Amino acid sequence: MKAPFQLRREGPVAHLRLDRPELHNAFDAALVAGLTDALARLGTDPGVRVVVLEGEGASFSAGADLNWMRGMAAAGEIENRDDALALARLLRTLDELPRPTIARVHGAAFGGGVGLVAACDIAIGVPEAKFGLTESKLGLLPAVISPYVVAAIGPRQARRWFASAEIFDAQEAMRIGLLHQVVNATALDTAVQRQVDLLLKAGPIAAASAKALVRNVQAASGPVAIDAANAALIARLRVSPEGQEGIAAFLEKRKPRWVSD
């Protein structure tokens, strides 16, 4: 049986490509489980510094597979809860992956596909891409993906798009914060590569820890706690081998050792 995704390595960069083009890269249980396992392995691989998430065919991801939805509609509440928790684990794994992630959005993203985009650190799309949180048309809500979508676009925007199920374009996605950049299709790979190059020039530990810093700042209970935590973090980084090398390279006007020529 054909695997539902491809994993390709280019040095320190891992490309995870959803590979169900005939179904617009829609989710089913096998794809969710496979992506979760692949991401978990990449997160512990010291040779991986950046992960690019992309799709095969015309779409980035159309969300839930229709056959999967039929099966869940016929299942009981416990089975549906377990199924939803599996998707939650995938998104949590992607969101908390200790490596920078880039969503390469070359086509439509709906439902869970929007969740994947929102859970990545950087998202770049083409003008032709379309987006939709269309669950309310089915009498449902994008509950599992909501933490990541709300974090990306904010609560006020989320209230609109969750309720209306309206389709929106790439420019609107960038305006509300779901995409960071919109480029022509011919420039998409160049734009993604530029972000990869920037990430590879950053300290590996620093780049990998950036999302944890943001998460901790958001979760801090008060100014005293956040100041103490941030002071402790920068102190650890300054005396770490990476921090020492980065400062020395700056003072000596040379590239740090982690930047290849």
Catalytic residues: 135
**Closest alpha carbon to 203 in 162, 234, 161:** 234
Rounded-to-integer distance, Cα 90 and Cα 112, Å: 11
Q: Note whether 43 and 212 are within 8 A (CB).
A: no
106 Cβ neighbours under 8 A, 6+ residues apart: 54, 55, 60, 125, 126, 129, 185, 188
Rounded-to-integer distance, Cα 137 and Cα 239, Å: 54
DSSP bridge partners of 110: 132
**Closest alpha carbon to 26 in 2, 4, 48, 50:** 4
Question: How remote is the C-alpha of 257 from its chain's centroid?
Answer: 28
Rounded-to-integer distance, Cα 185 and Cα 260, Å: 28
Q: Note whether 111 and 134 are within 8 A (CB).
A: yes
Tokens at 217, concatenated: 């700042």
- Residue 5 sits at φ, ψ, to 5 deg, of -155, 160
Host H or E run for residue 6: strand 5-10
